[in-house]
Chains A and B, each alone.
Chain A
């Protein structure tokens, strides 16, 4: 049946009018070009497709507006957190320097003291400072020794050492700040954190797959060819320096980016499973905390003091001098990298989007008596599987020798006081943070809103704050991840001895709880009394603001 019937009764010229109306609209010439333009021809192989998909995701993270949202977005794939290979500050693993260097892409340069750059900083008269430093050390050592409180606490040797070095470092910092702030204006604006929380987590590729994954790949007709392909691993660091100083501007870099691409700066490639040196695995969210929250004005770290108490215990087991030396390098590299990396996260860079300019920090490893100086320049944080083998940039760590501030304390006097160490310390303090001219410090953050607090929407601000802090706290979920009980593994999975049991458990229903996504949950419930006057079934859930 026709929709419209034209008959003799239809008015004259009606058909021609319809024909006129249904003519093709004349195309504008702009759509055509002289030479045909085709979309790019994509490589449709499996590996390239996966790579393109991953890069699309990395780009999505890049264009997220604020710091908090970026961190939430990083965590989106996992509700229960990622499998992290953990580094803890006081637990330095045996033979872990090659792994540490690979994981942070660090080249070590060992000097007698500081790198050449510091020769330009003039330090003349430090007599007054030395005098005060000596006084502070004597006073703090005496105070700790006589402290009745500490005597009653039954502390271990390591704890006592840490308490002592903490108080000495605090004293030295106080002396230096008060002396130097008269002559150096920038020291007045420096912020001091006492034992800040330092956490970082990042992705590193180029590591061999483990036995389990290999077995899975081997059993699959298609994935058999990728059996030995390297994979991405998540690494986490948890530590706490004794003292950290921050400024609003970055320290001047020591080596230019092009110099840092020099292939002579060797970085070992550690392809083995990180468990080969004994790293532990934990399920954790990717938390990057440099000791302050986003929005703080002083986002660039300048100097941190790290403790060495744990070496007292470690050095009894590891007797070789080279092993002891390497362990110190490991601690300094991890601490410096983690601090700079988490700062970079607050500037809008992530483990998938590389930093666009180098950042530098200075680390002093001390127990109050022995001082070792480390300068670390972060050039790259892009270490995932697609980039680890072809990323030309390397991070550089300059390590000094261990220097003694004094030999011993005899009759309330410091014997063999080394003024050079004080001079080096002063150099670290007077190294002035400077404006980076012509560099956008936060290129991947929006111009209007750089942190969640910049949003004018109250609800969104509160929601983001709550969600961000919850992820970063790494508190376990209220309902923990489903687990397979031992008896189930034996009698249900490995051997089918209970075929008549009702299939109720997740592994019988082909569910994978570890693959649950972060936003795979109901929004917050609003109780009836707090809802606006709407029908009963409406307005039950609060709004979500997932990035």
Chain B
């Protein structure tokens, strides 16, 4: 069940068919080395360990053998406009242990990003080279209007 406020149905208006639940679990990439059967999640604050277990079992058919949770304090930051200190929301993290032998690897979400970056760098280098060549050619005509350059 959801506790969100949805627009009240008025006759004639399109009927709302999507109701978003309160419960959600977001996979997190682990920051430290950890056993291959441990999976990290960020979850909604209302979820308990039992909720998480049910969530994974019923929706994704994943059977965890153990779940640990902790609530991490949100980071403080300076408000960009006003300059005072504001605090981000707290986050609930869940550490889900899968049965021995099961391996979870965090998926590579942007597999082509490195190639794209490489290509971008390549073109950047090329354009730099062209610009350098242009400067080299025209080093005798420094501070002259463009009309005099090659």
Contact = CB atoms under 8 A, between A and B. Distances in A.
B48 interface: no
A91 to B, nearest CB: 13
A210 B32 contact: yes
A495 to B, nearest CB: 6
Contacts of A211: 31-32
Interface in B59-86: 65-66, 68, 76, 78, 85
Contact of A490 (B35, B68, B85): B85
Interface residues of B, number: 17
B97 interface: yes
A30 interface: no
Interface string B16-39: 000000000000000111110110
B4 interface: no
Contacts of B32: 208, 210-211, 272-273, 276
B33 A494 contact: no
Nearest to A209: B32
A547 to B, nearest CB: 38
Interface string A265-288: 000000111001110000000000
Given A490-B85, A495-B85, A323 B65 contact: yes
A95 B85 contact: no
A320 B68 CA distance: 18
A494 B65 contact: no
Given A276-B38, A490-B76, A495-B76, A320 B99 contact: yes
Contact of A322 (B33, B35, B95, B100): B100
Contacts of B97: 94-95
Contact of B66 (A94, A272, A490): A94
A506 interface: no
A223 interface: no
Most buried by A among B66, B85, B95, B99: B66
A421 to B, nearest CB: 30
Contact of A272 (B31, B34, B65, B95): B34
A83 to B, nearest CB: 17
A320 B64 CA distance: 11
Contact of A271 (B31, B33, B66, B76): B33
A272 B76 contact: no
B79 to A, nearest CB: 11
A456 interface: no
Given A323-B65, A494-B76, A276 B34 contact: yes
Nearest to A208: B33
Nearest to A270: B35
A22 interface: no
A490 B99 CA distance: 41
Nearest to A319: B65
B35 A495 contact: no
Interface residues of A, number: 21
Interface in A254-308: 271-273, 276-278
A491 interface: yes
A276 B33 CA distance: 9
A226 interface: no
A495 B31 contact: no
A97 B102 CA distance: 16
B46 to A, nearest CB: 21
Contact of A94 (B34, B65, B76): B65
B34 A273 contact: yes
A318 B100 CA distance: 13
A318 B65 contact: yes
A279 to B, nearest CB: 11
A420 to B, nearest CB: 32
A273 B32 CA distance: 8
Contacts of A316: none
A454 to B, nearest CB: 48
A491 B65 contact: no
A276 B85 CA distance: 33
B143 to A, nearest CB: 42
B76 to A, nearest CB: 5
A276 B78 contact: no
Contacts of B34: 272-273, 276
A338 B66 CA distance: 26
A491 B33 contact: no
A467 to B, nearest CB: 38
Interface string B31-54: 111110110000000000000000
A497 B85 contact: yes
Contacts of A273: 32-34
Contacts of B66: 94-95, 317-318
A95 B33 contact: no
Contacts of A320: 65, 99
Interface in B89-112: 95, 97, 99-100
A495 B65 contact: no
Given A318-B66, A490-B85, A495-B85, A95 B31 contact: no
A320 B101 CA distance: 14
Contacts of B78: 495
3 tightest A-B CB contacts, nearest first: A94-B66, A276-B34, A278-B68
8 contacts: A95-B97, A272-B33, A273-B32, A273-B33, A276-B32, A277-B35, A318-B65, A490-B76
Given A95-B35, A320-B65, A490-B85, 12 more contacts: A94-B66, A94-B97, A210-B32, A211-B31, A272-B33, A272-B35, A273-B34, A317-B66, A322-B100, A490-B76, A495-B78, A495-B85
Interface of B: 31-35, 37-38, 65-66, 68, 76, 78, 85, 95, 97, 99-100
